[in-house]
Structure 1
Amino acid sequence: MKKITLFLLLFTSAISIAQEKEEQHPQDINKKHEVKLNVLGALAFEWIDVSYEYLINDESSFGVGVLVGFDKNEDVDEYRKFSLTPFYRRYFSSKFARGFFVEGFGMLHSYKNNNYDYYIDGYGNYNSSYNGDTKTEFAVGISVGGKFISKKGFTTEIYLGLGRNLGGDNSSLEAVGRGGISLGYRF
């Protein structure tokens, strides 16, 4: 009888300990807003890329990012001049809106179209023409990433995604990239 009583006591204790709720951190209590700056874009590409995110619940959020490009050089990054990017994120962590996420996004963006047309005329002369007009298009895509939050509410996130332009002509970009390392604050 003592063994059965001891077993029941241990079983009841184990169940009650296992059912303790996870401690809530100060950054999770009544904080639904985040503002962020993509520092990778600012340092590597001369872009100012800021975003706002509203936390719907512990598993999802939506937000919008605005990017403005200032680079005047004929570099790899000179094509991006402006983008407005609404997004929806789904988090896959047991903690409140952090950890691994998948994001669906739409991107209204303008870019400098650098097309060079090369041809040989009827007399064997080699000619080229430059078409450097600015285009505005809309793309949809998906990103993956991770978000980390300090106890004081400071956030760091790393993400990378790819989207496809809808419409456009033969001289348009077919794909757009989205990515960065962002620092921000949850309030």
Structure 2
Amino acid sequence: MKKITFIILILLSSFSIAQQKEKTEYPQDVDKKTEIKINVLTLVAGPWLDVSYERLIDEESSYGLAATYNTDTNESGLSYAITPFYRRYFSGKFARGFFVEGFGVLFSAREYNYSNFFNYQTNGFETGFALGVSVGGKFVSKKGFSTELLLGVGRNLDRDSDYGAYPRIAIAVGYRF
């Protein structure tokens, strides 16, 4: 009888003890809501300086602003771009992992007048506005350093523009504080 009572108590106690899953929170998940990044891809591969600011709303979303400046207008037609964006993260971690981004971009680029393929003139700069979508991934270290991969495209809303599409490509490094 003692053995049966002992087994019943063991079974009841194993069902009644609730184990809570231990949640590990890193400092960048609790206190740090701001991120500053620089796009090293455009800095190395092209003449553009691309810096962005991102503010975390919660663990699944953020908004931000990217500013791109062309350091050599003779090499590329883009003069500058200002890109506000909103991101939605789809991983179980705090504002990192896979994300989808909606963005708008106000840009200034060189306007070309083509008479044929080999003969063209520049007519100064035109201003355009594009809306687009990007996908990417973000990785954040325990100390707050971040790496981001991003690929997207936007459609220019000006029909008379030389630029029908606006690309958004980044390999960025930054810091969350």
- After TM superposition, the score normalised by the length of structure 1 is 0.84
Mapped pair 1:11 → 2:1:
no
Match of 2:131 in 1: 140
Q: 1:3 Cα deviation (Å)? A: 4.4
Q: Distance in 2 between matches of 1:163 and 1:49?
A: 17
Match of 1:49 in 2: 50
CA RMSD of aligned residues (A): 2.0
Partner of 2:13: helix, strand, or coil? helix
Q: Distance in 2 between matches of 1:141 and 1:80?
A: 18
Partner of 1:143: helix, strand, or coil? strand
Change (3 A) 1:112 1:129: closer
Could you tell me which runs of 5 or more consecutive residues in structure 1 were left unpaired when the two chains were aligned.
120-126
How many residues in Structure 1 have an aligned counterpart in Structure 2? 173
Q: 1:112 Cα deviation (Å)? A: 1.2
Mapped pair 1:182 → 2:161:
no
Report Cα offsets for 1:109-153 as digits up to 9, x if no partner. 01112342139xxxxxxx944244311100000000001111111
Match of 2:141 in 1: 150
Match of 2:155 in 1: 164
Partner of 2:43: helix, strand, or coil? helix
Q: Distance in 2 between matches of 1:46 and 1:8?
A: 69
Partner of 1:138: helix, strand, or coil? strand
Taking the TM superposition and a 5 Å limit, the aligned residue runs for 1:53-132 are: 53-74=54-75, 78-118=76-116, 128-132=119-123
Could you tell me which runs of 5 or more consecutive residues in structure 2 were left unpaired when the two chains were aligned.
none
Q: 1:26 Cα deviation (Å)? A: 1.5
Amino acid at match of 2:37: K
Q: Distance in 1 between matches of 2:120 and 2:92?
A: 56
Match of 2:24 in 1: 23
Match of 2:40 in 1: 39
Percent identity reads: 50
Partner of 1:114: helix, strand, or coil? strand
